[in-house]
């Protein structure tokens, strides 16, 4: 019982960190896009730090999520809604990993990130988050 409480604590911590940092970075990016100006070097550095902390938070979510599923339910076979949640979580993790490495890789090459790709990523992330939230709401209700 105590172990489950500790796992849930760190799972919720990861959830709050990932969510808050994702919102903060999205708001910063959107403001700079609307102002049609590039973020300052300090802001870019901060956004990079937020993205890396968000990636660590996602790792925390995945690690504690697997541990909770096995500890509480005895495995990952929790039905269709849980599988939908995992699909969304996988897509969201993919976006977070991509956004942590792609812009930096392009900067090293001296190129700007593909604007079409950068515009699609937040939409994919939001759609994935909807799958996660609906999937877990149904899984934990039924």
Q: Cβ contacts of residue 43 below 8 Å, gap of 6+?
A: 28, 32
* pLDDT value, residue 142: 67
Distance CA 74, CA 123 (A): 34
* pLDDT value, residue 93: 94
If you search the block for the tokens 């969510």, which residue do you land on?
Answer: 19
Nearest CA among 105, 102, 129 for reference residue 116: 102
User: Worst-scoring range by mean pLDDT, 2-6, 116-120, 136-140?
Assistant: 116-120
**pLDDT per residue over 15-49, tens digit each?**
999 888 888 888 888 888 888 888 888 888 888 88
Q: Look at 106 and 142; give whichever has higher pLDDT.
A: 106
Check if the beta carbon of residue 117 is closer than 8 Å to that of residue 69.
Answer: no
- Residue 133 region by backbone torsions, left for phi larger than 0, else alpha for psi between -120 and 50, else beta: alpha
């Amino acid at each position: 019982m105590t172990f489950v409480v500790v796992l849930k604590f760190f799972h919720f911590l990861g959830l709050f960190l990932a969510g808050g940092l994702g919102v903060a970075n999205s708001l910063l990016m959107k403001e700079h896009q609307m102002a049609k100006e590039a973020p300052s070097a300090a802001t870019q550095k901060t956004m990079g730090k937020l993205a890396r902390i968000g990636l660590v938070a996602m790792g925390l979510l995945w690690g504690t999520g697997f541990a909770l599923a096995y500890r509480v339910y005895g495995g990952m076979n929790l039905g269709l809604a849980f599988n939908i949640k995992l699909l969304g979580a996988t897509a969201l993790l993919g976006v977070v990993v991509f956004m942590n490495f792609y812009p930096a890789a392009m900067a090293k090459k001296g190129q700007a990130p593909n604007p079409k790709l950068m515009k699609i990523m937040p939409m994919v992330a939001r759609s994935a988050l909807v799958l996660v939230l609906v999937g877990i709401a149904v899984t934990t209700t039924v």
